Amino acid sequence: MGRLTEQTHLTPTLSSREERVARADAPGEVGDAPFMTDTRHMIAETAERLFADHLDQTTREAAEEGTWPAALWDAVAANGLDRVLVPEETGGFGGDWADAFVILRAAGKHAAPVPLAETIGASWLLTQAGAKLPEGPLSLADDAARVPWALHGVCVVASHKTRFVVCRPSTEEVPPGHNIGRDPREAIRRDFEPADTHAGDVAAIGALVRSCQMAGAVTQVLDLCVTYAGERVQFGRPIGKFQAIQQQLAILAGQAAAADMAAQTACRALDRTGDARFEIASAKIRTGEAAGQACAIAHQVFGAIGFTEEHHLHHLTRRLWSWRAEFGTESVWAQRLGRMVVEQGADALWPGLTGLNASP
């Protein structure tokens, strides 16, 4: 077993995982075990607890000022969350994207200021390409002008035309930069000596991990809003009793459900077939749209309180705005997906959606 088990005293059995993989691979077998297996529940709880334990206001503020949250990352690494997709033979947990999803969703819910999504995505690309996996946190970038945590000396997996390269940018010449989420995004020089390039779609994997994070953050925004609407009194009653607020939160609940489903669907598709181009594009579009609506509704519900530094809401909404745009906005992915749909043809639309491509 990977480190996750050793460190947290969870006891998922390897045999159950193997069984499940075997079933999914069986020819003609479309069904799958329930998404939330016991193992996956335990992974989710571990991640939840870890972020809850290590993230307080002070840590967040320090991270947003540029301090590396060492204790948090060390706990992540000690529990092997960053290596969830790395095979056991090479020291990882040997999980799949459905496992990665519950970790990334938890990271999103907690707006965790560490490159966990980047590390998970990069480690998968490296593993798929059969490349050596560097130690420590990794970055993942499809744009040399905004590389996550480049200043912190992490190793970068960056897109290079349709392939990718691995590099470790010198931190000395990198000007600091950050996104709206106040997570570091720095420009790196492109004149590094690339090692060999590898096959792998950085933009797609980046879009996938961001979709998973957004699913978590949107769900958490809903949670904050519903709780607040039940507590905050205006005009003599909780604001959640006003029909206008109720209608807004009903919309938000739908967005949260859609974001969660879209991201999970993409993870499952990638696990199952290795080709999730349609599902990843759909996930980035749908979670991004949900993110936009969630931020707008939440700030409307919270009013001035939600606009203060003191309230937790903005840790989520600022990151949602950033994640929406990173690794391709909804427009970018919608054009890509729309082109694929149109190219496969109108009469293939339904067969493609249902996964049955020809009448028998």
Using rule CB under 8 A, residue 230 touches another protein: yes
Task: Characterise 345 by phi-psi region: left (phi > 0), alpha (psi -120 to 50), beta (else).
Answer: left
- Choose the contact partner of 35 out of a second copy, another protein, none; CB within 5 to 8 A by kind: another protein
Tell me whether residue 57 or residue 247 sits nearer to a second copy (CB atom): 247
- Between 241 and 277, CB nearer to a second copy: 241
Q: What is the DSSP letter of 71?
A: H
- Taking the complex as a whole, the smallest distance from the CB of residue 78 to another protein amounts, in Å, to 30
Question: Quick check: 345 binds another protein (CB under 8 A)?
Answer: yes
- Of 51-59, 89-97, 121-129, 232-240, the window that binds another protein (rule: CB under 8 A) is 232-240
Tokens of 67: 């301090």
* Binder of residue 308, out of a second copy, another protein, none (CB less than 5 to 8 A by kind): another protein
Q: Which stretch binds another protein (CB under 8 A): 72-80, 107-115, 132-140, 293-301?
A: 293-301
CB atoms within 10 A of CB 94: 21
336: partner contacted, choices another protein, a second copy, none (Cβ within 5-8 A by kind): another protein
Q: Contact, 73 vs 117, CB < 8 A?
A: no
Q: What character string, x for contact with another protein (CB under 8 A) and - otherwise, covers 184-203?
A: -xxx----------------
Task: Examine residue 11 and tell whether it contacts another protein (CB under 8 A).
Answer: no
Task: Choose one: 74-82, 132-140, 154-162, 342-350; the region binding another protein (CB under 8 A).
Answer: 342-350
- Nearest residue (CB) to another protein, 126 versus 281: 281
Among 171, 247, 273, 275, binds another protein (CB under 8 A): 247
**Where does this chain bind a second copy (CB under 8 A)?**
242-244, 247
Task: Give yes or no for a contact between 240 and 200, defined as CB atoms under 8 angstroms apart.
Answer: no
Q: What element of type H or E holds 141?
A: strand 138-141
Backbone phi and psi for residue 333, each to the nearest 5 degrees, phi listed first: -75, -35
Token pair in block for residue 107: 């990271």
In this complex, which beta carbon is closest to a second copy, that of residue 225 or of residue 280?
225
Nearer to another protein, 5 or 333 (CB): 333
CB 302 within 8 A of CB 313: yes
Q: What is the DSSP letter of 153?
A: T
State the nearest-atom distance from the C-beta of 144 to another protein, in Å. 12
Cα 102–Cα 218–Cα 354 angle in degrees, nearest 5: 65
Count CA atoms within 13 Å of residue 297 on its CB side. Answer: 29
Among positions 295-314, residues that touch another protein (CB under 8 A) are: 295-296, 299-300, 303-311, 313-314
SS3 state at 148 = strand
Q: What are phi and psi of 237, to 5 degrees?
A: -150, 160
Q: 199-227 burial, b if ≥16 CB within 10 A, otherwise e?
A: ebbbbbbbbbbbbbbbbbbbbbbbebbee
Q: Are 1 and 12 in contact (CB under 8 A)?
A: yes
Classify 250 as helix, strand or coil. Answer: helix
Q: Which of 133, 194, 261, 277 binds another protein (CB under 8 A)?
A: 261
Q: Which is nearer to a second copy, 70 or 342 (CB)?
A: 342
Q: Which of residues 158-177 bind another protein (CB under 8 A)?
A: 175-177
Q: Measured from the CB of residue 243, what is the shortest distance to a second copy in angstroms?
A: 4
Residues 108-121: b if buried by 16+ CB within 10 A, e if exposed? bbbbbbbbbbbbbb
Q: Candidates 14-22, 74-82, 190-198, 349-357 — which segment interacts with another protein by CB under 8 A?
A: 349-357
Cβ proximity to a second copy, 175 vs 236, nearer residue: 236
Shortest spacing between CB 13 and another protein, in angstroms: 22
Give the dihedral of Cα atoms 96, 99, 100, 104; nearest 10 deg: 170
CB of 51 to another protein, least distance (A): 18
